[in-house]
Amino acid sequence: METIVFLHGWGVGPENFQPLINFLSNKYHVVAPNLSNLTDNKDFSWKKFANNLNEFINNKKVYLIGVSLGGGLALAYAAFYPKNVKAVIACEPAGIKIKKNKIAGAFLIIKMVIRGLFYREGIRFIPRICFSFLKESIFHSRKVYGQAKLVLEKDLDKSVVKIKAPVYLLWSKNSGELPLWMGEKLHQKIANSRLDPSFSDKNHLWCLLEQEKIAKKVLEIF
């Protein structure tokens, strides 16, 4: 059975993606680590993040699925360990510097959550997301801070050119949090990549709200 490593987004945990994990587990061996366990307390870099992931999966060759922060880690791993990756699906991945300070970054998160409440599925998911964020912030505060620095301040654009595996970039046409120009820039840098610029019509929370749609796309690609 093929192995898929699923990498969740910032401020939440793998438990928030259980519907997607359950769906894929019918066909694949799915491994879904908590990214806080892979985050170093001092070295907040994509390289160190990827090194820790490699230790976790024991240098095996795998498929990668990542959303937001996890998408950035999937790209970083594919760049630094190209021989270990069969293919990548990255749902609005981090990896392109947003150039916002911490206050602006906090405002971005608040706006994203408020927008999410206007989606029908948001009423069900937002309370769970907030609870997960509170738990992560309490038990892994320094790591959550370091992960935010990666998303806001660290570029992968010089590293992703090393990626050899096929990469599928899924984006929303209405994402205000990680704009489409980021996806276009990654698409230009990654030789063997495809960009779907209108996979969703929701804001960045579509990665959580449309898990069944993502799962069906995974089955099409992998």
pLDDT tens for 76-90 read 999 999 999 999 999
pLDDT tens for 154-190 read 999 899 999 999 999 999 998 888 899 999 999 999 9
The pTM for the full model equals 0.93
Q: What domains appear along the chain, each with residue ranges and CATH number?
A: 3-221 (3.40.50.1820)
CA distance 128 to 13: 10
**Nearest alpha-carbon partner for 134 in 6, 16, 5:** 16
What mean pLDDT is predicted for residues 101-109?
60
Can you give the pLDDT at residue 124?
76
Residue pair 39/49 in contact (Cβ under 8 Å)? The answer is: yes
Cα–Cα distance list, 154 to 151, 160, 166, 172, 203 (Å): 6, 13, 23, 22, 22
pLDDT band at 97 (very low <50, low <70, confident <90, very high): confident
Residue 3: strand, helix, or coil: strand
Which residue has 């928030």 as its token pair?
A: 16
More confident residue, 141 or 124: 141
pLDDT band at 100 (very low <50, low <70, confident <90, very high): low
More confident residue, 133 or 22: 22
